[in-house]
């Protein structure tokens, strides 16, 4: 029930728990008016714990507290770590190392492509992508990782059973299968504007580093980066045109000392993951895609693959583009090469 209270900050609930010792004593302090507001007391009286538990069971969610082994220790670096975390999907300890990729909802086509490529590169290297499940950069990063056979964690700004935005339903269903969805909010809590800045601190706390792809001035991306800096996480940014409003956040971060990257290769090298954590994964590739990857033993021009693969040049180019979008190959000076060695 304490996790369902909406008017008491997490850090205040932590302090209350240390002082009172048990969840029952904490709840009694709230209902007695010793802590929180009148609205908190009213809300506490209305909460049906059996209904909350049933809703969590219905969506296959589990609740973690800082005492649970699965509760990510990185969240305790935050000034106000979640008093509880609701999780759907895989065991969080399996999804590591973790890097956050965040940016604008109303992103540019280029920003979306970059986020997809960064997510794909991380996924192919065995690095879990963390983001906020919003449309734009967040969704592109999640989908890029899954497209490359990687894992991803979506942090919600709503109850663990509330799909927001609604257009992300299918993506969230896919994420539960390969990664996890987390929220500090109990089932049924609606998505409201003030919850998303709070959500951003969890994105930072879960991650070893934060990458900002696009964002306007005073955007949520900057809030996530600020949380990351506050707790000693690395911050990276992808530069954009100085005339673009969407480049304001990354350029501001770079000017203030964030590391500039051009893509996943720079990021992985800077963090020491220039060698894959597990090897290059080959999920759901066509025969042509698999054959092209096997032939890319070094930088190769597309025309050199035509006879070996046995398909026309336009199909070779289409295959290479698909592999590049999945983060499995990259183009350097008109030649293509694998981003990671084969398993």
pLDDT in tens, 80-115: 999 889 999 999 999 999 999 999 999 999 999 999
Q: What is the pLDDT of residue 214?
A: 96
Tell whether 123 is covered by a domain.
yes
Question: At residue 281, does pLDDT exceed 70?
Answer: no
Beta-sheet pairing, 329-332 with 335-338: antiparallel
Q: What is the pLDDT of residues 15-32, one digit of tens each?
A: 666 666 666 666 666 776
Closest CA to 58 of 82, 23, 90, 86: 86
Q: Does 69 map to a domain?
A: no
Rank 3-17, 76-90, 264-278, 310-324 by mean pLDDT and report only the highest.
Answer: 76-90
- Sequence-ordered alpha helix ranges (H) in the chain: 10-20, 23-31, 38-46, 49-58, 109-124, 137-147, 169-178, 195-206, 220-230, 248-255, 264-270, 287-295, 306-309, 313-325
pTM: 0.76
Q: What range does the domain containing 309 cover?
A: 287-338
Dump pLDDT digits (tens) for 37-58. Answer: 666 666 666 666 677 778 888 9
> How many residues would you count in the chain?
343
The CATH number of residue 170's host domain is: 3.40.50.450
Q: CA torsion 280→285→288→112, rounded to 10°?
A: -80
Same domain, 252 and 293: no
For the chain, what is the domain count?
A: 3
Residues 129, 7 within the same domain: no
| Closest alpha carbon to 228 in 264, 202, 257 | 202
- Cβ pair 327, 117 in contact under 8 A: yes
The CA-atom distances, in angstroms, between 196 and each of 13, 86, 193, 203, 291 are: 19, 16, 6, 10, 44
């Amino acid at each position: 029930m304490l996790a369902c209270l909406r008017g008491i900050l997490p850090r205040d609930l932590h302090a209350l728990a240390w002082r009172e010792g048990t969840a029952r004593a904490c709840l009694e302090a709230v209902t007695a008016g010793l802590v929180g507001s009148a609205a908190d007391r009213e809300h506490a009286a209305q909460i049906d714990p059996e209904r909350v538990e049933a809703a969590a069971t219905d969506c296959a969610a589990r609740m973690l507290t800082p005492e649970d082994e699965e509760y990510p220790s990185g969240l305790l670096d935050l000034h106000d770590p979640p008093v509880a975390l609701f999780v759907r999907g895989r065991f969080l300890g399996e999804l590591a190392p973790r890097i956050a990729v965040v940016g604008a909802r109303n992103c540019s086509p280029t920003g979306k492509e970059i986020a997809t490529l960064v997510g794909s590169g991380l996924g192919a290297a065995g690095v879990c992508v963390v983001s906020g499940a919003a449309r734009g950069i967040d969704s592109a990063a999640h989908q890029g990782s899954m497209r490359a056979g990687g894992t991803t964690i979506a942090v919600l700004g709503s109850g663990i059973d509330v799909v927001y935005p609604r257009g992300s339903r299918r993506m969230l269903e896919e994420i539960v299968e390969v990664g996890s969805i987390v929220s500090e909010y109990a089932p049924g809590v609606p998505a409201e504007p003030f919850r998303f800045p709070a959500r951003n601190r969890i994105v930072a706390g879960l991650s070893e580093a934060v990458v900002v792809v696009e964002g306007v001035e005073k955007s949520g991306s900057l809030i996530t980066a600020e949380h990351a800096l506050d707790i000693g996480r690395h911050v990276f940014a992808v530069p954009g045109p100085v005339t673009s409003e969407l480049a304001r956040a990354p350029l501001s971060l770079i000017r203030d000392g964030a590391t500039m990257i051009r893509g996943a290769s720079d990021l992985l090298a800077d963090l020491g993951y220039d060698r894959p954590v597990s090897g290059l994964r080959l999920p759901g590739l066509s025969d042509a895609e698999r054959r092209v990857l096997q032939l890319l033993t070094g930088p190769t021009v597309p025309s050199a693959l035509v006879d070996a693969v046995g398909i026309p040049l336009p199909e070779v180019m289409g295959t290479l583009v698909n592999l590049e979008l999945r983060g499995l190959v990259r183009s350097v000076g008109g030649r293509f090469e694998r981003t990671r060695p084969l398993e």
